[in-house]
Amino acid sequence: MPHLQIGDLHVEILRKPVRHLRLTVRRPDGRIRLTAPTRTTEAAMREVILQKEAWIRKHQAAFLTQAPPAPLHYESGETHYYQGQPYRLHVEERAGRPAVAFVGEELHLSVPAGATLLQRQQALAAWRRQQLRAQLPALLAKWEPVVGAQAHAWGIKQMKTRWGTCSIRARRIWLNLELSKWPLPCLEYVVVHELTHLHERLHNARFWHLLGQALPEWQTAHLALRQGDPAGPPARSLASATQPAQF
């Protein structure tokens, strides 16, 4: 990816057909990215970065002080999240296919004896996918009439940096498997967000206006997903600044 080096600041540059410059600082390593309209000059980009230098360093310093989430080993006693609620994981080995079930306030994972960490992880991921697949038809039936757009197809996949994506030409939306860890309003927000893209491809004023018409309280879920919590979301930009493009 193209970049600019300004002193000790290494800034990734992403040119896209957008109307505004968007500067982001990403966790956990404080990586900097500037998304800019395709015709923005290098001088204009440098000016924005220098104007925001103090803001960049503030957030980089904050991210460095945040302890990274402990890696999960899929062993009994760990805390795993489902729909925003923490559950204590209980792993039991027994013959047969892997299975997941709620038992009181615990999440029971049954796996064959000797199952590896990856196999346990895959078993729980398959269960999460199954739960989302069961939820989404009703959510789409609820929100498509509100948004005034219908998805011809939808799917679930693991994504590192996005909560959802939309293919306007195919009218297909994809949702991040990690959303199963978050409260239902967060999942609904992403569904509405991606459906809104069927009206407007860009994150411009029209897009946010349409989103606000369909889901007036969208900012609560939007902020929660961007800030993150112990549910362990994918790496996201925790700090961003947007301003009019300069050419």
| DSSP characters over 38-57 | TT--HHHHHHHHHHTHHHHH
Q: Does the N-terminal peptide bond of residue 69 adopt cis geometry, omega within 30 degrees of 0?
A: no
* Per-residue pLDDT, 196: 97
**Which is more confident, 244 or 173?**
173
Question: Over the chain, what is the mean pLDDT?
Answer: 88
DSSP 8-state code for residue 177? G
The span from the CA of 70 to the CA of 75, in Å, is 13
Residue listed under structure tokens 């009206």: 199
d(CA 27, CA 235): 6
Identify which of 125, 132, 139 has the alpha carbon closest to the alpha carbon of residue 156: 132
Per residue in 55-89, pLDDT (tens digit) is 999 888 887 776 666 789 999 999 999 999 999 99
The residue whose two tokens read 């970049």 is 3
Q: Which domains does the chain have, with CATH numbers?
A: 3-69+237-244 (no CATH), 79-227 (3.30.2010.10)
* Rounded average pLDDT over 130-156: 97
pLDDT score at 80: 94
> In whole angstroms, what is the distance from residue 214 CA to residue 237 CA?
25
What CA–CA distance (Å, rounded) separates 2 from 210?
33
In angstroms, what is the C-alpha Rg of the chain? 21
Work out the angle at residue 164's Cα, subtended by the Cα atoms of residues 222 and 224, and round it to the nearest 5 degrees.
20
CA 105 to chain centre: 26
Beta strand ranges found along 27-177 (DSSP E): 31-37, 79-82, 85-93, 99-103, 106-111, 153-157, 164-167, 172-176
Per the CB < 8 A criterion, the answer to whether 177 and 157 are in contact is yes
Tell me, yes or no, if the pTM score tops 0.95: no
Q: What confidence tens digit (pLDDT) does each residue in 29-56 have? A: 788 999 999 999 999 999 999 999 999 9
